[in-house]
Amino acid sequence: MEVIDKNNFDKLIALNNSHVVKVIDEFVTKCKPSKVTVITDSKEDIDYVRNRAVELGEEARLNLKGHTIHYDGFFTMTNHDQARDKENTQVLVPKGQKDSYPWINTMEREKGLMEIMEIMDGCMKGHECVIRFFCLGPKSSKFSILALQLTDSFYVAHSEDLLYRAGYEEFKTLNGSDDFFYFIHSSGELTGDPPVTKNLDKRRVYIDLKEGRVLSVNNQYAGNSLGLKKLALRLGIYKANNEDWLTEHYFIMGVHPKAKSRVSYFCGAFPSACGKTSTAMLPGQTIVGDDIAYLRIWEDGYAHSVNIERGIFGIIKDVNAEDDPVIFDALTTPRETIFSNVLVKDGTPYWIGDGRAIPDEGFNFSGNWNKGKKDIDGKEIPLAHPNARYTIRIEELNNVDPNLHNPDGVSVHGILYGGRDSDTMPPVIESLDWEHGVFLGASIESETTSATLGAEGVRQANPMANLDFLVLSLGKYLKNHQKFGNQLDHCPKVFATNYFLKNKEGKYLNGILDKLCWVIWAEGRVHNDYEAIETPIGYIPIYLDLKTLFKQYLQKEYTEEDYVKQFSIKPNKLLDKLDRIETMYKKEKDVPKFFWNLHKNLRINLKNLQKEYPMEEISPISLKK
């Protein structure tokens, strides 16, 4: 490695790990950077990364101290590098297994490696490669997995300093072991000012389960380039589901009910742009994490969970002072923050739905922007991309939970599953038991949004909000969930939420902050504070309990009319949903028996309910006995 000087080579040797050196040697030789810099946990090294991102133009400073702006590649509103690239994200599987998993985008391993290694040959020419070391999860914890990252993007490296715990010193504790994930990334050839990836047609993100690694090239958008995020999620899912624990697309939050001297920790899975981060950031509650969690069975009989991250890479669209006060305050005050793909005018960032007066011109991901600007296809370019993001440390937030870095994690009392459903599911229901809770999670449906490339507004199934990231069969995944819960002495209660229910005129039936009352009700159910109405799809709240919660937490009246509109059971819609679930899961060969038993019984119970109440919508008032 002629491109690495003695000082940086000595940093590698200090790790006393031949496996690390072998990986670095292989990919430095392959990618051919002009320089290699090894980053330790020191402030000096980490500051170097942040400053170089600005010097190279990958980020630019904004008015407020610590704030920078980054832009990802853009050609048109349908051809860009500003969302996850599902088509070119492939899981590499052994020859003969390509068709084993119908919901996984797979490629034969040898073929995929041959292709991407060819694309990566010389991909870092003229670039500086930084070697990074991180810890997925709290330090000195049996939850945690170490991660090695090579990248030629200082934006990527800077983002990881905000999102993950430093791990150089942790690597020394491996004592020469190869028990770590590794991630190779290159933005490839760059063009323009600011510099963005040029060859999006050669964008590739390949997950190699056999080697516990991800190879990613010709992209910058963090969902495709940050190895430790959704790419490490896939590796974690594979590892966990072969070792009797869980890796999930979960937030972790502390729920603090008023007039109660307790905190109950909840996990929750929502597809992108479905309210996941805003739930984790609800006023008066505390946040442990907003995206990815590891769960293990603990000595106290509970499931314990940790956030593998220390930061948030959040969708910024519709973050405003009224609906998301904690996040908005953090984004509009000095602290280390990276904005991506938003409008900048006179050093101030603006985004869609921020509640402020928006300038008619400025600079955004398309270059110089003015209101009404269109791309070459004639499609109007918004002031900020709908999937524009912010990156910030959780410690910078005033609602950070004190257990963020607890090596033992937090005990999980409840799990929330939610999707984007305009006409079927009520705002909140409680599962009948753990296995029914697994069924609810497996039945999540969501209308597509701008967070992934492709058409918007299409209803898709998304089990546990994890379908995009699964690297094993759905059957095995569900069996492992069933087994995990049944091994617990104190099993979490499971809830399904839906913040996007609409009336026939297309108007939302829920206020944006109403979710606070749904979550507080769920927390109360964990502690048997509230009675509930049993229905075929689960337990629903009693009106008077919600009326009290709305008054206590939101200072607003919650009418019986609102309650009836939101919590009426719709057998025809629910039976249609069961048909869609059946169609999907019949494509899987090893779906567990408990799932089909629940599916069958739910269909029978809904049809019996139809006979008893022959109407399109059954009022919850009628069901209360």
Q: Give the residue extent of every domain in the chain.
A: 6-55+87-244, 248-309+404-623
Q: CA 29 to CA 37: how far, in whole Å?
A: 15
> Worst-scoring range by mean pLDDT, 247-261, 326-340, 450-464, 605-619?
450-464
- pLDDT for 456: 57
In this structure, how many other beta carbons lie within 10 angstroms of the beta carbon of residue 95? 9
Residue 323's pLDDT band, with cuts at 50, 70 and 90, is confident
CA–CA gap between residue 33 and residue 486 (Å, rounded)? 51
Instruction: Collect all residues with Cβ–Cβ distance below 8 Å to 44 and sequence separation of at least 6.
Output: none
pLDDT band at 616 (very low <50, low <70, confident <90, very high): very high
Q: pLDDT for 567-581, tens place per residue?
A: 999 999 999 999 999
Among the residue ranges 91-95, 232-236, 539-543, 544-548, the one predicted with the least confidence is 91-95
Distance from chain centroid for Cα 130: 25
Average pLDDT over residues 492-520: 94
Intrachain domains 6-55+87-244 and 248-309+404-623 with the same fold: no
**Whether the predicted pLDDT of 184 surpasses 90:** yes
Exposure pattern of 505-537 as b/e (b: 16+ CB <10 Å)? eeeebbbebbbbbbbbbbbbbbeeebebbebbb
- Cβ-count burial 301-313 (b if 16+ within 10 Å, e if not): ebbbbbbbbbbbb
Residue 62 to residue 276: CA distance in whole angstroms: 28
> Given 1.10.3720.10, 2.60.40.10, 3.40.449.10, 3.40.630.40, which CATH number is that of 6-55+87-244?
3.40.449.10
pLDDT tens per residue across span 66-95? 999 999 999 999 999 999 898 999 999 998
**For residue 571, what pLDDT is reported?**
97
3-state SS class at 278: helix
Name residues whose C-beta falls within 8 Å of residue 443's C-beta, 6 or more positions apart in sequence.
461, 463, 577, 581
589: left (phi over 0), alpha (psi -120 to 50) or beta: alpha
Which of 45-54, 331-340, 415-424 has the lowest average pLDDT?
415-424
Interhelix angle 18-31/109-120, nearest 10 degrees:
60
pLDDT value at 1 more than 80? no
Stretch 390-395: mean pLDDT: 96
- Summarize the confidence of residues 610-617 as an average pLDDT: 94
96 confidence band (pLDDT: 50, 70, 90): confident
What's the pLDDT band for 460 if we cut at 50, 70, 90?
A: confident
The answer to whether 606 and 536 have CB atoms below 8 angstroms apart is yes
The residue whose two tokens read 């109405």 is 533
Give the DSSP per-residue string, 497-514. EES--B-TTS-BSS-GGG
Give the residue among 98, 78, 100 at the shortest CA–CA distance from 90. Answer: 98
**Mean pLDDT across the stretch 193-210?**
96
Which CATH architecture does the domain made up of 248-309+404-623 adopt? Answer: Alpha-Beta Complex (3.90)
Residue 160 has pLDDT above 80, yes or no: yes
The band of 192, judged by pLDDT with boundaries at 50, 70 and 90, is confident
260 vs 393: CA distance, rounded Å: 29
What are the residue numbers of the active site? 274
C-alpha distance from residue 419 to each of 156, 408, 478 (Å): 29, 30, 18
CB 78 within 8 A of CB 345: no
What does the buried/exposed string (b/e) look like for 172-185 if buried means 16 or more CB atoms within 10 Å of the residue's CB? eebeeeeebbbbbb
Helices (H), 423-511: 434-442, 474-486
